[in-house]
Structure 1
Amino acid sequence: MSNPPGLAFPRFAFSHLAAGFIAVLVGYTSSAAIVFQAAGAAGATPAQIASWLWALGIGMAVTCIGLSLRYRAPVLTAWSTPGAALLAGSLAGVPMNEAIGAFLFSSALLTLAGATGWFERIMRHVPQSLATAMLGGVLLRFGLDVFISLPEQLSLIGTMLLAFLLLRHTVPRYAVALTLLVGLVIAGGQGAIHVEQIQLAFARPVFTLPSFSFGSLIGVGIPLFIVTMASQNVPGLAVLRANGYSTPASPLIGWTGLTGLLLAPFGGYAYNLAAITAAICMSPDADPDPAQRYRAAVWAGVFYLFTGLLGATVASLFVAFPHALILTVAGLALLSTIGNSLATALKDEGERDAALLTFLATASGLSLGGIGSAFWGLVLGLAVNLLNIRRRRRLAVGAR
């Protein structure tokens, strides 16, 4: 992208709003429960849990809106879902104030990684074919979930799929948003939307004074930093690069880390670049013009702001929607991105083996050392690509 950095206020377009809403919807419904588990593991009270959701929503809103407007790119941020899973299993017995201290330590490391620029220097050596292969592997399960769930929810998913295919030929820019509307109408007619579970209440920030212990910093803070960088920021930046955005990485990492430093005492345990939900905002369905897709990320930030202010109310709203509807909307919204990723990943015959292995390893969902498959798929692809480069050099030398 050649757009110069600068501030701009987005004009309204329904496709931008729809993509931003779907991104936030998918993000919350897919992982909000894990955040609840992490807060519960730390012994959080209901008021503190609401404060966690407030801090996470506000932090994601500020970074999404600010960074997207600053760089004219769809920079979508998120809470660290693998980080939340890690915390759910490691915070038992850790006092809340020590947990907050570990969050601050992890955020300080993220800020340092952005300030020094080492993360960006490493990512410059990742070929686009491997980045897009990893993206395709990350998103594949969302496409598969549509058809895996189809037999159990034939009327809902089948009708949404048919509507999507018809709308793609008539109003492609609004196909996903209108398909969501179709799904809501069908689910409502089936009585599958549980409105009674929605409770209106504003969240209030609860400040927790941090304390620091060596055990918590080493046992919680460092693993949280590693998981956030490897499982979230690496694929998050790869998504940007795979879609052609050359936004500098260091400021993005640095600002998300700084946001964590400010909001960790209220429960904002980790912020990072989004990958899966970001791909929704980078899809042609958000806008045919890649230079205008940042507006979808800005709208996502607006919705994050509301989710933060309303706290647990929003979580209850997302729980009210049938799971099959969310799976279907996510899969259909990511369809174009999956196809484009595979096409780009396999285009270069010299990098095809490395890209294919990256795709398969990432799609497998393997986890080693608490680090997810996206990281290990990229590591495998880089290793194979390096071997291929060396083999081609040896053949070139031998042919002289």
Structure 2
Amino acid sequence: MNDTSLTNVSNGIVAWLFGITGPLLIVLSSAAKGGLSQSELSSWIFSIYIVGGLLSIILSLYYKQPIAVAFSIPGAIIVGTSLANHTFQDVIGAYIITGFTILLLGLSGVISKILRILPTPIMMGMVSGVLLPFGVNIITALKDDFLINGAIFLTFLIMTFFSNSLKKFPPIIAAMIVAAVLYSIFRPISLIEVTLSVAEPQIYIPSFRLATIGEVVIPLLITVIAIQNAQGIGILKSMQFDPPVNAMTNWSGIGSIINSFFGAHSACIAGPMTGILADTNARNTAYTGAVWMGILWIIFGLFAPIAVTLTSIIPASLILLLGGLALLGVLKNSLELSFTSNFKMGALFSFMITVSEIEFLSIGAPFWGLVGGTIVSFVMEKDDFRRVG
């Protein structure tokens, strides 16, 4: 790839590192809650990373935009609860129905129409609310390990200060190098318990039970379309990209259907990881970061059995720090787009509801942020709606 740069490679590595740590822990927790076997868990992890990696590469190369396809994080939480009350095969049946529903909605074009009607500041208010905790994580990481993480943060600040002179050396790469050196000296990581083994994915035959479908499909559908995909689309718009909404929805549906037969839950556009990949001055070549991330995800998926031990080895505070630093630019841009034009009150309520992390009807706060922000804006900012009407 001639368009590859050190910045794009570093963004791809950070996005990959983010995707195999915190989000994976939620999958592991849900699998434990549902009592899945090691082979079932291995197949689940194999699919979400292999399918996500392949679709990230394909979509990013075709549309020349940094499109990160992954798996629904709040969806994994919903699945964990459902697995505790329903059989694995019944839940897989609900996965399949969810995937086909997402695909049909994408083919109908209704999603792109809804997103065109939804005011951008309200959407960006939701995105800002989702991303704010990642910024706060920087402070949390400094509190957890002030000396080492403080040195990493200081390195990032120094490299940012001299960024005009060091255009080809991204500050996040310098932070990662310093982190590797400091942790190897002061917090050495043991690799004794890690053994390499290749994944052996399983194909599962679904069963369809009305009670399971009623409990799983609608919440999972909303987390994919109105929470995860809306984040990714909003972030790309905030970074001056033109995201292919219908295609992103279609492929989320196709990826979800494929995942289903391997015992894995829904595929979607990954908001925070898309933000990491899109945060570059070289907008025309940002897509290569997603390609590198996709390659790394495929490799990780092939060695899914080591995921549990590998995830437990990487220090949590380091992931919090690097993820927060990588998303700083995107958080700044989304906040600016939320509050520098019309619909400011709607954007504020969208932001506040999302940050509150409330949950209602098994649906997370980002969705209710969009709903509540739109309603408040419609009541309090009628003139703004008239101007765009």
What TM-score, normalized to structure 2?
A: 0.92
Which letter does structure 2 place at the counterpart of 1:364? S
User: What is the rounded CA distance, in whole Å, between the counterparts of 1:388 and 1:221 in structure 2?
Assistant: 34
| Per-residue CA distance 1:248-293 (angstroms, 9 max, x = gap) | 2111111121122123111221100111111100112xxx121211
Q: Gapped runs of 5+ residues in structure 1?
A: 1-8, 396-400
Percent identical residues: 28
| Aligned partner of residue 129 in structure 1, secondary structure | helix
| Per-residue CA distance 1:147-197 (angstroms, 9 max, x = gap) | 123233111111011100011122365111220121121112123523234
Work out whether residues 25 and 318 of structure 1, in 8 Å CA contact, stay in contact via their aligned partners in 2: no
Work out whether residues 364 and 373 of structure 1, in 8 Å CA contact, stay in contact via their aligned partners in 2: yes
**Structure 1 residues 10 and 67: CA distance shift in structure 2, 3 A:** farther
Corresponding residue to 1:270 among 250, 266, 269:
266
2:200 corresponds to: 204
CA positional deviation for 1:54: 0.8
2:143 corresponds to: 151
User: What is the rounded CA distance, in whole Å, between the counterparts of 2:6 and 2:367 in structure 1?
Assistant: 35
Work out whether residues 231 and 371 of structure 1, in 8 Å CA contact, stay in contact via their aligned partners in 2: no
User: What is the rounded CA distance, in whole Å, between the counterparts of 2:2 and 2:370 in structure 1?
Assistant: 35
Root-mean-square deviation (CA), in Å? 2.0
Q: Gapped runs of 5+ residues in structure 2?
A: none
Corresponding residue to 1:236 among 232, 256, 265:
232
| Aligned partner of residue 131 in structure 1, secondary structure | helix
How many residues were matched structurally?
383
1:320 corresponds to: 313
CA positional deviation for 1:247: 2.2
User: What is the rounded CA distance, in whole Å, between the counterparts of 2:385 and 2:210 in structure 1?
Assistant: 48
1:21 corresponds to: 13
| Per-residue CA distance 1:102-137 (angstroms, 9 max, x = gap) | 111111111111111111110001222223222222
Corresponding residue to 1:353 among 318, 328, 345:
345
CA positional deviation for 1:224: 1.9
Work out whether residues 102 and 212 of structure 1, in 8 Å CA contact, stay in contact via their aligned partners in 2: yes
User: What is the rounded CA distance, in whole Å, between the counterparts of 1:204 and 1:327 in structure 2?
Assistant: 31
CA positional deviation for 1:47: 1.4
| Aligned partner of residue 347 in structure 2, secondary structure | helix
1:6 corresponds to: none
**Structure 1 residues 394 and 267: CA distance shift in structure 2, 3 A:** closer
| Per-residue CA distance 1:12-40 (angstroms, 9 max, x = gap) | 32221211111121122112122123333
**Structure 1 residues 44 and 314: CA distance shift in structure 2, 3 A:** closer
Corresponding residue to 2:53 among 39, 56, 61:
61
Work out whether residues 235 and 375 of structure 1, in 8 Å CA contact, stay in contact via their aligned partners in 2: no
Which letter does structure 2 place at the counterpart of 1:345? S
Which letter does structure 1 place at the counterpart of 2:263? G
| Per-residue CA distance 1:308-354 (angstroms, 9 max, x = gap) | 11113244323211111111101111111111222222211x32222
What TM-score, normalized to structure 1?
A: 0.90
2:115 corresponds to: 123
